[in-house]
Chain A
Amino acid sequence: MTAPDAPKTASRFTPARLFSSYGALVAIGLVALVLLVWAPGSLSAFRLGNLGKYCAWAIAAVGIGLAWGRGGMLVMGQGVFFGIGGYAMAMHMKLEAAGPGGVPDFMTLYGNGTMPGWWEPFRSGPFTLAVIVLGPAIVSFILGYGILKRRVKGAYFAILTQALAVAFATLLISTIKQTGGFNGLNTFSTFFGQNLYDPQVKENIYLITAGLLVFFLVVVWQLYRSRYGELLVATRDAEERVRFLGYDPANIKLVAFVAAAVMASVGGAMFVPIAGIISPSNVDAAASIMLLAGVALGGRSSLLGPALGALAVGYGQSALSEKYPTQWTYFQGALFILVMLFLPAGIASIWPKLKALVPTKRSASPGGVGIEAEVEADAGAVAPV
């Protein structure tokens, strides 16, 4: 898109150039300001808790944006990784509630009151945190290695990940004595020794969650700017060409898949102390698809789109499902249909599209092509004409 004879130095040190490099960081800063400063000061405890829940989903959504938007892998089973993190955290909190040497209440309720051995290490906080990060990384690595190395992609990949989510949820439901079954794990009292009913603790948990969201946004921003980010997009758009250049596309995609899994797991782990429950309905195929809805709406290949989309869908769900419980499903279905039909690159693509309609002096000059060209190329990649 750049004229080949345009001098490279012309675009350096101009405000436009600066904005194209760091504008995204400013946007992340604005999000951080709203989530970390404005929200705790002006929202009620109840609303803040809800926002925290959406933030937990948004963390998983940022990962989906990486894997799906930039990597072209439609991950339909992120609920599994959300669940690994969530259940690990819930098990730890359940054991905290049971006290030293105690057994979680539901085990005496449904079983004979003996705890399976693999629960025991979750008494330790550091072990739990390690599982939240390493558990999904290992699972997604093994699965991703098996699938991606054999060049299984596109719809096949999507179907397999969704099948994984279905299998995971059924497994959880059937193991009521070990995982609480359909009811999941609930009724916690403390979060790493802090009383969960203390409003200050609640606010702190919210701040941690929102902080993690901002942290992952910065991580992903850095990834997208890096050589790796370029490679990932190249793999999405022309996998064979990348292979001929000497890279292994499977490795490139595997990194994105594992990173997305870890983010989903962290989101799941933070979801538990805020929502006070994790159950199969939070992690099954339907929940995984819910996570995709926000990403699709916001704009899967944009930086902030997935996170903001997830926040919006989370808010929409609780606002609409309170008033009109059945209409919400119609709304969700319509959302998928309309976004996929008319706005495949999400809301994030509206602005550059509008801008493209109005020819300006700036977009014609070589100095201004930076960000518009990038975004346009992105939108074009998802919706080839």
Chain B
Amino acid sequence: MRELLTPFLTGTASGAILLLAALGLTLTFGQMGVINMANGEFLMAGAYVAYLTQQVITSTGLSIIVAIPAAFLVAGLLGLLLEVTIIQFMYKRPLDTLLATVGVALVLQQLARDLFGAQGDPVKPPTWLRGNISVFGYHWPHRQLFTIVLALAALGALSSVLKYSSFGRRIRATVQNRELAETLGISTRSVDRMTFFLGSGLAGVGGVAIALISGTNPTLGTVYIIPAFLVVVAGGVGQIKGTVIAAFAVGIITAYLTDWTSGSMSQVIVFALVVIFLQVRPQGLFTVRTRSLA
């Protein structure tokens, strides 16, 4: 029982981080067709914000509470900056944004290395996150539980913004039919910018969760970006529902495979599984039904 439960619990936690990383990707990818490879570096930025707030606010409990909105803001602003300076000129050729944002990712990584050193820095979790709860004899760290709560809270906030606020309605209108939304007086340009802010900010929140579990690191983003994209691809682009299911599925399956084989083998198998899955559903788990050919 315990052998079967442990990977499930740790996998759910890593799925929660993947979810936070993938939500921003699926929003920008679904709405604008932009592939933001720098999203991993926004995770990293969030992690460094958690580290920096801890340097300023010594109380570990308070610093984490402050770090979450701060990371959202910092990563969101970085995303906004990226949109304004680079992405907005490339909407006509989305595939090129992929390589341009790879360039941004390289610059941000090196920047982090120059500012904070190549070695990672630890982020101390507050006392109320240091313990663990016993689940059928397995000591499940509070931090992992916290990650899941954080991801679900972010998901809840995002879905209610999308569903109930007028800003959310504008986003959905733009996703469904950009031209028609424009004729209704929606400024799709400013909607695009806000979506970028929102998606990047979510990655920043994810970065705080990562910092609590494994500390900061300049190359932290590169670890998560590819699994996060696999989640987006498997879940169906622009589909929050699909992204949620795919994130937890990838997280949990990876955890079980790591348990049974090894960390590296599990990566290879998950990759193969995603390719096989795309044979069955080339558009991902959920798709928007359109009458277009592609």
| A155-B29, A333-B106 given; A171·B99 CB < 8 A | no
1/0 contact trace for A301-336 toward B, CB 8 Å?
000000000000000000000000010011011111
Residues of A within 8 A of B264 (CB): 170-171, 173-174
B251 to chain A, nearest CB (A): 16
Beta-carbon contact of B265 and A171 below 8 Å: yes
Number of interchain pairs (Cβ within 8 Å): 127
A33-84 residues with Cβ-Cβ distance < 8 A to B are 72, 74
In this assembly, does B153 line the interface, its C-beta being within 8 Å of a C-beta of chain A? no
Q: How far is the CA of A384 from the CA of B263 in the complex (A)?
A: 44
Chain A residue nearest to B89 (CB atoms) is A341
1/0 contact trace for B257-270 toward A, CB 8 Å?
00000111101100
Residues of B within 8 A of A377 (CB): none
In this assembly, does B233 line the interface, its C-beta being within 8 Å of a C-beta of chain A? yes
In this assembly, does B294 line the interface, its C-beta being within 8 Å of a C-beta of chain A? yes
Beta-carbon contact of A151 and B282 below 8 Å: yes
Q: How far is the CA of A151 from the CA of B89 in the complex (A)?
A: 28
| Segment at the A interface, from B174-182, B198-206, B271-279 | B271-279
Residues of A within 8 A of B276 (CB): 146
Beta-carbon contact of A292 and B99 below 8 Å: yes
Residues of B within 8 A of A239 (CB): 294
Residues of A within 8 A of B33 (CB): 155
Beta-carbon contact of A159 and B113 below 8 Å: no
Residues of A within 8 A of B226 (CB): 159, 162-163, 166, 285
Q: Chain A contact residues (Cβ within 8 angstroms of B): what range?
A: 35 or more
Residues of A within 8 A of B113 (CB): 326
B91 to chain A, nearest CB (A): 11
Q: Chain B contact residues (Cβ within 8 angstroms of A): what range?
A: 35 or more
Q: Which secondary structure dominates where chain A touches chain B?
A: helix
Beta-carbon contact of A329 and B268 below 8 Å: no
Q: How far is the CA of A336 from the CA of B98 in the complex (A)?
A: 10
Q: How far is the CA of A333 from the CA of B82 in the complex (A)?
A: 14
| A160-B233, A167-B271, A296-B99 given; A336·B106 CB < 8 A | yes
Of the A-B pairs whose beta carbons lie under 8 Å apart in the complex, a sample of 5, sorted by A's number, is A154-B95, A158-B98, A163-B226, A333-B103, A333-B110
Q: Which residues of A contact B (CB under 8 A)?
A: 72, 74, 143, 146-147, 150-156, 158-160, 162-164, 166-167, 170-171, 173-174, 239-240, 285, 289, 292, 296, 326, 329-330, 332-337, 340-341, 344, 382-385
Q: Which residues of B contact A (CB under 8 A)?
A: 29, 33, 35, 86, 89-90, 92-100, 102-107, 109-110, 113-114, 222, 226, 229-230, 233, 262-265, 267-268, 271, 274-276, 278-279, 282, 293-294
Nearest 6 CB-CB pairings of A with B = A336-B103, A333-B106, A174-B264, A333-B107, A340-B100, A329-B110
